[in-house]
Each structure stands twice: as structure tokens, then as C-alpha cells.
Amino acid sequence: MGRPTPCLPADPRTPRAASRGQAPYHPRLPARPAGALVRLAEALPLPLYVVETDGRVRFSSRMARALHPQGLPEVVKRWLENPQACGAPLETGPIPLPMVWQRLQPAGLSCALVVARPAPLLSADGLGSHPWQIALETGRFGFLEFDGSTQRICATSHTLSHLLGLPVTQLSLPYEAWLERLHPDDRPLVAPLLSDPQGWLQGTASLEYRVRHANGHWEWVEQRSLLVAATPEAPRILGLCQLVTSRKYAEIELIRREQQFRTLAENTSDIIARYDLNLRCLYINRSVAHYLALRREDHLGKRAGEKGWPKKVAERFEQECRALVATGQPRQYEHEIELNDRRYVFETRLFPEYDRSGMLTSILSIDREVTETRLALTLLAEENRVMEMITGNQSLAETLEQVCQMIRSQLPHSRVAVLLANEATLQLTLIAQAGLSTALEGALRVLPLSTEDGVGAAAANRQTVVVEDVAASPLWQARQTLAAAEGVCSSWAVPVMTSERGLLGVVALFHGERLTPGASENRLLFRSNHLCAIAIQHDLQQRQLYALATLDGMTGVFNRRHFFETAEREIQRVRRNGMPACAMMMDLDHFKAVNDNFGHACGDLVLRAFADECRRQLRATDLIGRLGGEEFAVLLPDTGLEAAREVAERLRQRVERQPLSTPRGPLHYTVSAGVSALMPGDTSLETLLHRTDGLLYEAKRRGRNQVVADPPPRLR
């Protein structure tokens, strides 16, 4: 609450005049030209008329001309012609609006000021006040006369009541009381007007200050002052005052919001800019300096293509802006941009900005960098695809190649390779790559697990090796020529290991510039490395499961079930192609005696040695299986009977001539075999093997260690 209203000494002339119903007292001043009132009326946004004493209109304000374009209504003209009637306000009907007319006669001026106020009535349609009424009802105003000779402020009727809530009968205040009512911060502004008006005023002057209302709150007053008497002894100032509290609060709120907006705009990481309808920049915040070298002030007045944006990005921006202008709807889109050898992804949102009349005036642009978000989403999608390939039992090479592509989606300028480790041979073998040239791929095809190699050192030491400058690193000394030719400036090598730190391989990246991995790159390497480990271990497990399901654990050849499944499919193939095929049934001679005389360990050794010899003598396309005990079967696709017999005989001779070394001395063993060709009447693999098995027993019956094949007459 403000301070209480001070007890003011009343002008002794005022109460008597008011009690007799006479006009308020005003000191008489020499008549002055009407230009003073004209300047005041012209400066105020109110419906004002400057009239002569005989009722002639000297000047009408812009708002007055808008309300009454044909001039003053006749009823108002007749009212002005009667000086006695002008002492009271005139209430009129709808002409065109219900109005209250009031004549104000400032002291010392030859003209009067006539004001039209809206009457407190509904408009003709009954829906409420006309917009002019709403505007004018808030415009409380009045005249104040500052008398330097008496050091008092005199007011026209109701002025102090309208402005300060004082009694209607109070028409004057001492200067001291007036200053006491002013806000402490505004007193230095108003004091020179009272102490030295001649030196302070130059023509018509305007002031805005706060005055304490009778209710205790502060009212903002706009005062337009005019020096009407310039004598040093008795300076007089005429002030037309209007309450502008609502406007000032609105301005303060506007300033606060503007400051709030600028605080937010200047401290956000988003690029916020405003463009006119010609797409020239009006404002841009300082976040743009993170991406473009152009100074902030140099953006103003320029179009997107003139600010260093790539052509495609500028064209897309202008296209979206034109679409916004055409539809009036906000726009949103994403675009990629290469800046400073780095790729950025921005989400751009465009918003229309309108003035009070609803006209589109500008476009607000908000650019948010979403590079990390988009890369994370892309990486997640790529990871999901890799996991789908792993669970779908895709080949290891295809899966790891997808990992390489995933890395390149995050680091487009990198070249990626994945190498598998073989600790038995102490070598790394290239299995997948993305972006490698033929020369670089050839150099990485087989690498040693060596601490002196940029890639091999990661596997040998089981730790990440980052070579920032290949030209100066001893790890690349042997490949300096290759690195220079291929533009390799830096390399990163990360070992792929199991959770027990078993070595699986290496992920290697090569860059055309000197780079070291940052936080985001390290996260990418970790996730890629993890996927590679999962893929490699899954492949190893699948191979182990396949071996357990299809191979004989003792000899490593197909087990009985898998041999029959695979051989049956192969027979169907050769039948479709019209090609020959033969089967061999083999049995180790006197194998029970081997177990009895040399032990089962030596018996197992004999089985493995025979299986190894079969693999050496047979083709990769030939199928060999252990049917049980010491009995083996072979299917030779695309092979005639004579060729099959020669293969069987060669194998028999190799076994006979190569005894095995055992703790108990050399061990000699032999093998008997039966060979049969696929006949047109053979309905299945079992039919073929049954006939071949009979030939095997014929070989044993003849004394073992020999090969018995189908006789030629059987082929006709």
C-alpha cells in the first residue's frame, strides 16, 4: 500500500465557489493562440476537437474524424453555441454512438477542448460496447495547470478524482503535496518541471510517471506539458494528463517477456532465427557460432544460400518456407549437412508469425541438432539387424560385414576390417571389410599376432591400439608405402575377446586424417566389438553343435545318421543330372585282435589313422561315414565303377604299407572293401549299400585285404 494522502491546505476560493454552484476558480491569463491546444490534441490518441468561443471547430484529431467523418453532429453544434449549457456534459443518443460530450476550457487559452466519451450503454445490437467505446472508456484524462507564482497545481472539474481518486470538490494541490504523491523514483523526473519550467520545456514535452492513488496503489500518468506563460515571476504550465497504467503494465510485461525470450533464445543450444517474407535473416541467436564461422551480425539481412549453407540445404529451407507462406501452417523436416568435415543432422521447425491484424509478417525458425539421437537410432536399428542375422544363423562373414557397415554408418569416412584370430597359427585372417581398397584388403588378408604390427599388436597385447599418426609410428614402419598410397593417416585396432579374455579377433579402423576416438567413438567401438564377439562365439557354438550332431566323435567323419541323410540327397542330385555314382563299404581286418593285443587305445588310434588316410585319398566332394565299430562307407558322386575301384585299391595299398607306431611296436593293419555302382533299379541308398555290403563280405571270404567290385556283366 502507498502512503496515506497528506492533509492538503485547501484553496480558500475553491470551497466558496463550489458551494454556490459557481464555476471553479481559474486565474485569468492573457489569451494565447489555439496552436497550443492543437498540438496537444494532435499528439493524443483520443477523439478531441479544438473549438473557438463561438463554437467553430478549429481542429479535430484522427480518432475524432474516424468517429464523425461528416463533422460534429447538429445537436453538439447547438450545445456548443450555448455557453451556459457547455458548463455541463452533453449526453446524446446513437449519433452514431451514444456519447457524452464535455467541454474543457484551460485557463489562458482562447480555445476550448471538446472531448467525446462513450456513454455507458449497450450498442445497438445489444451484444456489448462498440470497439471505440471499449478503447475510450479506459482513457481517463484531465487538465492540470502548474502555477509557478502560487506553487500550486489547479485542476479542471473531476480531474483529480479521475486521476487520483480524490474528492470531486478538490481542485488544487500544493507542489509539495503533488511531489509527495509521486513515486520516489519518478520525483527527480518531475521536479525540474516545477522548479525550472522555462529551461526544461522546449515546445510540447511529454512525461510518464507514477502517482499514488487515494486507495494506495500506483497509477501511471502520461502528461503532455505546454508552457503557456513564460514570465520568470509567474511561469504557468498546462498539462493534459491521461492514465496509462494498463498500457505501462502491458509494456513492462512485454519487456519482461522479451527479456525472458532473449534469455531462453540466447542460452539454448538450438539455433533460433527469424526471417522476413523475403527469407532474409532478421535475428539469429549465438548458438549458430558453434556450426558456422560466419559472425553472428553477418547473418542479418542475408538469405540462407548467402550464409555459407550448402546449396541443397538452402534450397530445401526456402522450399519449406514458401510452403509455410502458402498454407500458413508450421513446417517440420530433417536434413543433413556437412560442416568442418563432420556430418550433422538437424531437425528444423518453422512457425508463422502474425501481426495484430492477422497478417503474416515473419517466419520463426528453430534448428535442433539431433545428430546423436539419429545416429543412436540408426545404430540401434543396425544392431537389431546384426542380432537377427546371428539368430537366423547367417554366415559369419555376412554377419561381420554387416557390423562393418554399421560402423561406417556412424563414421562414414572410416574404413573397417574384422579379422579372426587363430592362436594355433598365431595369425589373424581377414573375414569381413567395408571400404577397403584392393591393395589394403590384400595387405590385411593374413597378419601375424605381432607386437610390432599396428593391427596385430592389439591381438598380441589384448588391448586397444590407437595410432594417431601412422607416418610417425613404428607399428606401421613396414607398411609406410602402403599407408601413404592409400591415404591412411591413423588407425584404431580393438581386440575381440570372450568374457574370459579369450582372443577371438580384431576390429580395425583406418582413417584418412589424424583422429583419436572420443566418447561417442569409444561407445561405438565397444558396441561393435560386443556384437563381433557374440557373432564369432555363436558361430563357434554352431560349428560345435553341428559337429556333435553330424560327425563321429572318434574319427571326425560323418556319423551314421548324417551320412545316410547327406548321401541320400547326393544320390537324388546325380540322378537328376544323369551322372554316375559309386559306393564303397570298408571294414578293418581283424580289428578285434588289435584291441585284444594292443589295447583299446591303440584300436582308437587305428580308427583315427584310417579316417585321416581316407580324407587324404578322397575328394572334398566325396562323402565318408563311420557306420559303426570298424565299418566305414563312402559315396563317390560323379564317379564310374572303374575309377571307384582304383580309389579303393589305392586306399587299401596305403593302409597296408604304412604301419602305425605304438608303445608296443609297429602295428600293421589292413582293410577289405566292396565297390558297387548305382544302378537304374536302385530305389534308395539302402539298396545300393546292401549290394555293396555283399561285395565287402565277398572280399573277406576271399581272404581279406582286397577290393571286390561289381563284375562287368552286372552293369549291362
Q: Which residues are catalytic?
A: 630
| Beta pairing partners, 365 | 273, 350
* Cβ atoms of residues 406 and 499 within 8 Å: no
> How crowded is residue 607: how many other Cβ atoms within 10 Å of its Cβ?
21
> How crowded is residue 529: how many other Cβ atoms within 10 Å of its Cβ?
21
Rounded to whole angstroms, the Cα distance separating 36 from 205 reads: 12
196: cell is 525550472
Compute φ and ψ for 579, nearest 5 degrees.
-105, 155
Compute φ and ψ for 695, nearest 5 degrees.
-65, -35
How many H helices and E strands in the chain?
23, 29
* Cβ atoms of residues 118 and 138 within 8 Å: no
Q: Which residue type is seen at 13?
A: R
Q: Which residue type is seen at 568?
A: E
14: cell is 475553491
Residue 517, CB-side half-sphere exposure with 13 Å CA sphere? 22
Residue with cell 608303445: 663
Nearest in space to 418 (alpha carbons), one of 544, 512, 535, 543: 535
Sheet holding 152-155, edge to edge: 172-174, 152-155, 141-147, 236-243, 218-229, 204-212
Nearest in space to 490 (alpha carbons), one of 464, 475, 511: 511
Q: At what angle do helices 396-410 and 371-391 cross, to 10 degrees?
A: 180
Rounded to whole angstroms, the Cα distance separating 427 from 363 reads: 62
Rounded to whole angstroms, the Cα distance separating 489 from 498 reads: 30
Q: What angle do CA 493, 495, 499 make, to 5 degrees?
A: 155
End-to-end CA distance of the chain: 127
* Cβ atoms of residues 209 and 186 within 8 Å: yes
88: cell is 455541463
Sheet holding 271-276, edge to edge: 281-284, 271-276, 360-369, 342-354, 331-339
Nearest in space to 118 (alpha carbons), one of 103, 132, 102, 107: 132
97: cell is 454512438
Q: Within its chain, how far is the Cα of 424 from the centroid?
A: 49
